[in-house]
Amino acid sequence: MNTLMKRLILTVLAFMAGALSVTYAINPVRIDTVRTQLVVPRPALEPLKSLVTSPTDAIDTLDTANEHIKVVLHADNTWHYYKTPSFQQVSGVYDSNWDDNSTNPYGIEQKDLPDEWAIWLVDSLDQYHCPFQGSVYHRGKFGVRRGRRHQGVDLPLKTGDPVYATFTGKVRVSKYWGAFGNLVVIRHDNGLETFYAHLSKRNVEVGDWVNAGDVIGLGGSTGRSTGPHLHFETRHNGFAFDPQWLIDFEKGTLRHRLFVLKKKYFNIYSNYEQDFEDEIKNQEEDAAEDAERAAMKYYTIRSGDTLSKIARNNGTTIKELCRLNGISQNATLRIGKRIRVR
């Protein structure tokens, strides 16, 4: 093979080698690039948002044989009855045993009641409101106090704080009533009655229809009371039982939708939480309260008086006067009104 032919063959081989090297150098990049494009995940598709935001939301209603009652269907496959507002107008709950001059107009004896019965506390999702959220005063629980029946719970508040209707219903009593002070009693669709006592102001009158959450009055310390608080009772057929069976006052929540009321709950010694340490503490504080009551002193406001002047003349402070009477330092002093100074 002559020299010219060898050079030609070497040139061709060199060209082919160069072409292969270029192809090898380019293809991995191209192939890797293609692979990268293939393995990169596509952006995830947004999931379809449910039209129902929570499992308990109502999704449909059905008619029943009673035009005033509907069936409400929920997303979690549960259901309940719902009474339309017109139900109140035709319900017999508000026709019988109605007397705005009696705290117990029923005239029923406990022995004639069944041992237990079920009560729907709410008829729709929104027909409940805590009367006043807060801790039950440890000396204000349902039971016997100072030798007397204490048929409700006491919730400390400030004078003027709003007090709310617990359930939908009709006002049966709205008046000043002895030891209760300003008292509002509401009868509800479920047959319960709720009592709101010691109010500084009543916002409703007998016969008014109220919805759960309506402000029916303002907190105060009227009647037999040693300081601003709400005395709250729940009764059925005229008999009181511990409201804490129904309501967690600290959380402001209802404990049940369907409540099984037992006749034994009407026993004054049957309360939601028996705390014997509290009972001992109550006795000690009762004795201290007796001593405090004996030392109580009142002053009748006169023309020209100010809190500063009254405090100075009675050896106390403005802050203490405000605490004893549940008032603010800017409260208006009314001539002739008695305030506690000690």
Exposed, middle or buried: residue 318 (CB in 10 Å: 0-12, 13-18, 19+)?
middle
298-321, pLDDT tens digit by residue?
899 999 999 999 999 999 999 998
Q: What is the pLDDT of residue 147?
A: 79
Torsions phi, psi for 247 (to 5 deg): -125, 135
Superfamily of the domain at 116-278: Glucose Permease (Domain IIA) (2.70.70.10)
Identify the CATH number of the domain defined by range 296-340: 3.10.350.10
- CA gap 181, 159 in Å, rounded: 14
* Among 206, 81, 221, CA closest to 160: 221
The predicted model scores a pTM of 0.61
Residue 225 CB neighbour total at 10 angstroms: 17
pLDDT < 70 regions, the chain: 1-56, 85, 87-91, 123-126, 274-287
The 3-state DSSP class for residue 65 equals: coil
Rounded CA separation 199/230 (Å): 7
pLDDT of the residue at 183: 98
Residue 35 CB-half CA count within 13 A: 6
pLDDT given for residue 7 in this prediction: 55
C-beta of residue 196 within 8 angstroms of C-beta of residue 216: yes
pLDDT for 278: 53
For 34, the token pair is 């293609």
| Helix (H), strand (E) counts: the chain | 5, 21
Extract the tokens encoding 310: 């009254």
* Helix (H), strand (E) at residue 12: helix 3-39
List CB contacts of 240: < 8 A, sequence separation 6 or more: 142, 151, 152, 233, 234, 266
Q: Which residue has the tokens 């916002």?
A: 203
Q: Are 228 and 157 in contact (CB under 8 A)?
A: yes
Q: Rounded to whole angstroms, how far apart are CA atoms 92 and 103? A: 19
Give residue 42's pLDDT. Answer: 36
Do the bridges between strand 239-241 and strand 148-150 make them parallel or antiparallel, or are there none, so unpaired? unpaired
pLDDT of the residue at 1: 52
Name the nearest CA neighbour of 160 among 233, 215, 204, 208.
215
| Helix, strand, or coil (residue 312) | helix
